[in-house]
A and B are shown apart, each in its own frame.
Chain A
Amino acid sequence: MQAKPTDIPHDSPKDSAQALLRENAELRARLAEAEETLRALSNGELDAVVVGADVYRLESASDATDRFRRDVLAQMEDAVLALDVKGHVIYLNPAAERHLGLSAAQVLGLALEKVYTQEWLSPADEADFQAALDKAGFWRGRSRHIAPDGRKRLVESSVSRMRDTKGAVIGSLAVIRDVSEQAASEAALLESRARLQFTLDAARIGAWDLDLQTGTARRSARFDRCFGYSEPPESWTYQIFLAHLHPEDRSLIERGFQEAIDSSGEWHFECRVVWSDSSVHWIEAHGKVFTEHDKPRRMLGIVFDATERKHVQLALVDADKRKDEFLATLAHELRNPLAPISHSLQILRLSKDKQVHERAQSMIERQLAQMVHLVDDLLDVSRISQGKLELRREWIEIAAVLQNAVDTSQPLIESRNHELVVELPGRTVLVDADMTRLTQVVSNLLNNAAKYTPDGGRILLCAAFNGDSVEITVTDSGIGIPKAMLPRVFDMFTQINRRLERSQGGLGIGLALVKRLVEMHGGSVTARSEGENLGTTLVVRLPAIQGLAPVTPAKPAAVVSQEEGSGLRVLVVDDNRDSADSLVIALTLNGHVTATAYDGEEALSKAEDFQPDAVLLDIGLPGISGYEAARRMRAQPWGREIVLLALSGWGQEEDQQRSHEAGFDQHLVKPVDPNVLTDLLQRACGGTRSR
């Protein structure tokens, strides 16, 4: 073994002696190194030999494979640690350095427990870990790593045994992933899922998940309940869903579904479903399409029972509609008496005749009384609704009530030429009641019967003692009530056929008022009818106190009128006699020759006899309507040239149009100023005659 000295310095003697000593030591050290290298080489302690710029590995693994492995490890997001059999760290990749917050130089060679402490999530985990490594040489699971600074991290790691080519264990390899964040988001997800479930449960919302490829759906129990199932049905598909829909709703729902799929959009609907017991329920549902590679794959959604809400909604819509109709009717009813009043005022101004004045005055009084009655009814209804109406109760005889009511309703009954028959029990019956209110009840029933019975009908008013109660029955031979309407006749603002009613007048509050007043007296009221045009029977039952003696029934009356003058020949047709009569008087005073008819049939026959130049025709007539009467007149040879003027309380565009179609020359809205009417007649008839 020989060391080769290089440069020998020529310094001062002292220095050179020191230098020589140093050099000597250095040479000896180099020599030792060389010896060491050879020894290590012969002992197999080397992995590589360096010659020039090349590193020669002494093991079989090629440099390329090695580099590849190293690159893979360097690129890995997961921390990789290699340990020797005694648990010392012999390798770590850059991710592991980041994971530990320590450099490789700080960690390599250290025992693992100096780097971090492993804490098991449950005591059983450690046993599992040992067993899995011993048996399969592999373990994967979660644990907690505690760094020397006390920081804890939840990790998911897989640990495998490393073996050499002969199969001897040479250590272990751990791949570690920090799942703290993932675990936190998992926990957040679980919480949000629990919250969603709670929300769905609390709001009684069912959930569904429809596979658009197969058409099958997964549902929650709440979903099934919306379709009437307390136990989940075996399978559920889109087709089964469709089969549960109300037939009228089906096509609309199918269209919405198709649109949602075509646009990969959303699906919102409410519809009726029919349960297996044939009951109909409402559901509301919302869905959203989820796509995969731009193709609709699933639809996720919710559904809930909307039956209750829908019923409330429909009731509200209906109430709103009835309110609107009521307001229209109210306006109409309040305006109706205005025509005769206005005509009468004209008459008072134009005529000096005392008799004519008296008639005009009584007409105004009657019409005013009708308006007052109307307004009173309205006020009563509102007072009862607000609980402000008080009964002044005393013991009164039922016969007296009936007599008062007959007196009140007599004028209306007589004007319609009805026959009224009153039947009383053969004994005195006492009730504890408010005389005024009870009279109002019976009178309302009589007015109702008179209004809804064609002229010349029969009305029976009957009181019968029944042990502890008295039954007051009003039966008419009138238009009756369709079965479906029977339960609703006592509702506020209910009228059976709005168009038909126009000729009858009334607000539709009479029976509502009757019901409330009777109930305030501790009684009840019911309606019976065999159907349309088969008459109506209304029965009021009141608690009675004693029996009573018979009462004499009232007698009917009649009114007729016709006058003539000069000028045009005008036929006035109106079922409101005051209205017709007052107009006739006004026209007569204006110098026309007039005739009057009170319904459509009469109008046709009168017109043929009278040969008028003009006909003023009310639209809302009983029997043949004004439209029909006009059409029939136009069909006659004498009717082609005459002037036809429609008179109506209704002046909407639609009403005007219908009049025109029926052959009217003009549509006038009541009340019509007689002067305007005269002008109009002169011009219209002049035009007709010059043709």
Chain B
Amino acid sequence: MKTECRYKLRLYVTSTGARSSRAIVNVRRICEENLRGIYDLDIVDIGLHPQLASSEQLVAAPTLVKLLPLPVRRFVGDMSQTARILSGLNLAADPTGAEG
């Protein structure tokens, strides 16, 4: 586990969306359970900031972006696929999302 580096995460949502709400709760749960004390989570409403959506090359909301540690990784959906996200964050031994 790479604990020296803080995780910098950004979650793009639409504030009134049901999946966005779910995504918020799920991401927070994952972070609190696995990254407690070493993460910064930004939650950005793309309804309020549509220009961010295009500059960050988003295609959908909700989207979670791992800005740090590099490499940048994006996850799309309501973040209920915990195992997939954990592996994307380099937190799980078996990266199910990486198979061809």
Using a CB–CB cutoff of 8 Å, the interface residues on chain A facing chain B are: 25-26, 28-29, 32-33, 36-37, 39-41, 43-55, 57, 59, 61, 63, 66-67, 69-70, 82, 84, 86, 88, 90-91, 104-105, 108-110, 164, 170-171
Contact = CB atoms under 8 A, between A and B. Distances in A.
A109 B28 contact: yes
Which residue, of A48, A70, A90, A104, has the highest number of chain B Cβ atoms within 10 A?
A48
A110 B74 CA distance: 22
| Majority secondary structure of chain A interface residues (helix, strand, loop or mixed) | mixed
Given A36-B97, A110-B28, A48 B60 contact: yes
B44 to A, nearest CB: 9
Given A50-B61, A109-B28, A43 B77 contact: yes
B71 interface: yes
Given A37-B59, A53-B54, A47 B97 contact: no
Contact of B28 (A36, A39, A108): A108
29 contacts: A25-B71, A28-B100, A36-B77, A36-B97, A37-B76, A40-B60, A47-B17, A48-B17, A49-B59, A49-B60, A50-B50, A50-B60, A54-B50, A57-B17, A70-B45, A84-B22, A90-B21, A91-B16, A104-B43, A105-B42, A108-B41, A109-B25, A109-B27, A109-B29, A109-B41, A109-B43, A110-B32, A164-B18, A170-B18
Nearest to B25: A88
A36 B14 contact: no
Contacts of B43: 104-105, 108-109
Interface string B1-22: 0000000000001111111111
Contacts of B71: 25-26, 29
B56 to A, nearest CB: 9
Interface in B20-72: 20-29, 32, 40-43, 45-48, 50-51, 53-54, 58-62, 71
Contacts of A46: 19, 60-62, 76-77
B47 A63 contact: yes
Interface residues of B, number: 48
Nearest to B17: A47
Interface of B: 13-29, 32, 40-43, 45-48, 50-51, 53-54, 58-62, 71, 73-78, 80, 84, 88, 97-98, 100
Nearest to A49: B60
Contacts of B100: 28
A32 B29 CA distance: 23
Contacts, number: 133
A48 B21 contact: no
A37 to B, nearest CB: 4
A164 B77 CA distance: 20
A115 B96 CA distance: 35
Given A29-B73, A49-B59, A88-B24, 7 more contacts: A36-B76, A41-B60, A45-B23, A46-B60, A66-B16, A104-B43, A109-B29
Contacts of B45: 70
Contacts of B28: 88, 108-110
A37 B21 contact: no
Contacts of A44: 19
A511 to B, nearest CB: 102
A39 B78 CA distance: 11
B47 A67 contact: yes
B98 A32 contact: yes
Contacts of B29: 109
A90 B22 CA distance: 8
Which residue, of B27, B50, B88, has the highest number of chain A Cβ atoms within 10 A?
B50
A59 B13 CA distance: 14
Contacts of B23: 45
A398 B19 CA distance: 125
Nearest to A110: B28
Contacts of A25: 71
A29 B22 CA distance: 24
B24 A50 contact: no
B76 A70 contact: no
Contacts of A91: 15-16, 21
A33 B72 CA distance: 11
A197 to B, nearest CB: 52
A588 B75 CA distance: 145
A168 B82 CA distance: 25
A37 B84 CA distance: 13
A569 B48 CA distance: 126
B76 A61 contact: no
A587 to B, nearest CB: 122
Contact of B18 (A29, A41, A47): A47
A54 B14 CA distance: 13
B77 A70 contact: no
Given A36-B84, A84-B25, A91-B21, A48 B54 contact: no
A187 to B, nearest CB: 38
Nearest to B53: A50
Contact of B20 (A33, A47, A164): A47
B97 A55 contact: no
Closest CB pairs A-B (n = 9): A109-B28, A47-B17, A40-B77, A45-B77, A90-B21, A45-B78, A48-B61, A88-B25, A109-B24
A51 B24 CA distance: 23
Given A36-B84, A70-B15, A50 B54 contact: yes
A43 B88 CA distance: 20
A71 to B, nearest CB: 10
A55 B61 contact: yes
A63 B71 CA distance: 34
Contacts of B27: 109
Contacts of A109: 24-29, 41, 43
A569 B46 CA distance: 131
Contact of A48 (B14, B25, B48, B84): B14
Given A45-B80, A46-B77, A70 B47 contact: yes
B14 A57 contact: yes
A47 B42 contact: no
A469 to B, nearest CB: 110
B50 A53 contact: yes
B60 A59 contact: no
Contact of A108 (B18, B24, B53): B24
B70 to A, nearest CB: 10
A82 B13 CA distance: 15
Contact of B13 (A32, A47, A50, A84): A47
Contact of A84 (B21, B41, B51, B60): B21
